[in-house]
Structure 1
Amino acid sequence: MMPSARFADLEGASVLITGGGSGIGAALTEGFARQGAKVAFIDIADGPSLALADRIEKDLGRRPLYLKTDIRDIEALRASAAKAAEAHGDVTVLVNNAALDDRHAVEDVTVEFWDNNQAVNLRPHFFSAQAVAPGMKRAGGGSIINFTSTSFLINHPDMPAYTAAKAGIVGLTKGLAGKLGADGIRVNAIAPGWVITERQKQLWVTEQALAAHVAKQCIKQMMQPEDIVGTVLFLASDASRMLTAQMLIVDGGFL
């Protein structure tokens, strides 16, 4: 269920979301569109991204701008950020959501695998922020929301390159917040717990594992992509005007 709260300042805002075509990202794309924002989203998969844009246009009468981009290609990422600004005005909300949580054993990791993992899970967070920061300064401020994960907080054993990147995002968030705050740009991180997306269902969810996880949450309900939207909208809006350099955990109370 999408959040019922409305944030008046998000209506007409220029929003850029990475990984916005599926999973949590698709819920964010829809959530911001429902606030009346002008949404551009980056993804690499045409099928789900175009279907999402079609559905939102049919439901809401406004179409998010899909920008096909391989976020490992920094010049392409910069070009897509520029296209978003050209279409909707200077980006004032950036959501760095894109990630790849492939499992991997320590003994199997090569230098190439490690570098590719960081090129998806950490490096683009900096360069997308770098790309939109001048426009946010011109606009008088903005909000950057970086997706980290509770995986590095629970000592997840099966994806060390990923957990390293997700921990790094917290450091990046704090460093950018310290640098950009003087220009009215807030930078925060959100750490979701186990959100049951279609990808999770296809690859890793079992009835037993899910039941055991939910049993450890304070709120005994399965987390879904829509459960992350409200927190991101709050961080994007002026309701969180003096909140920066923080990591908000949204995990149903697992930790």
Structure 2
Amino acid sequence: MIFSIHIKTTIILLPLLILVQFVSAQSTVDNSDYSSVEYQNHNEYYERITYIGKRKDIFIVDTYLKDSTLYRVDNYKMLDQGLQFGIYAVRHGPSKLFYGDGKLYLSCDYNMNVLNGPFIVYYNDGAIKRRELYKNGNLKKSLCYDPEGHEQACEPFYQNVKFTGNPKELKTYLEKNLQTLFDGNQSMILTMGLTINEVGQVINVNMGVGRTNPRLVAAVRRVIQDMPRWHENESNWRPAYMDGVPVPGNWDIQAYRERSNYWRITFP
């Protein structure tokens, strides 16, 4: 899960799984045999990273907006995956997110990178908005409340990007246009990662087509960008939602061409 919360018109996306290089320090303010503190600056926020223990394999990341407002607190654990994958840091322990005025917005617990235990979302006045229970990443119970405390139906906390048109029509469109771009009968796997913004527009297309030349990659991007609008006055994609708020999200397309020139296209 990736948390994205609107605070003071700022959207911050933080990954669930991070490489240990992420904590390379710009400055160290305190050191001892059992703890050390480092700071890491980013474009829209900065982090205070506190390493705990003699091995420094446990650390806490306090994330602040540029105005020094505390945005979130996360606990991590380092894992050594060997030479092939290197050292990774996974969420392990409590996580908290805060409103712009410092009040608690969300609290949850992770066990080796998966949600485990209570997952609670609060209104700004401190009343509970959502109470869920996870076990090893699986949702076991979910209760939601309106601002007056009355129980109401629960929508998923995070909802993925959704294509609003007819998938069959989209497949037909892609098959027709991709066929004109790729000559020959060789097998091919083409991946297109679409980034959808908060109003359902495609703002980026990440390509994976092996060693294909840049012009061909650009042509495939144009196929996506020039896609017709399937419903009048409606975007082709409904954006992702986080706690009822539209946020940027991803939507992946994979196209596989067999030697018979038949394209097999799959969507999320």
TM-score, structure 1 normalization:
0.30
Specify which structure has the higher proportion of helix: 1
Which structure has the bigger radius of gyration? 2
TM-score, structure 2 normalization:
0.29
Specify which structure has the higher proportion of strand: 2
Query: Highest relative contact order (Cα 8 Å, sep 6+), 1 or 2?
Result: 1
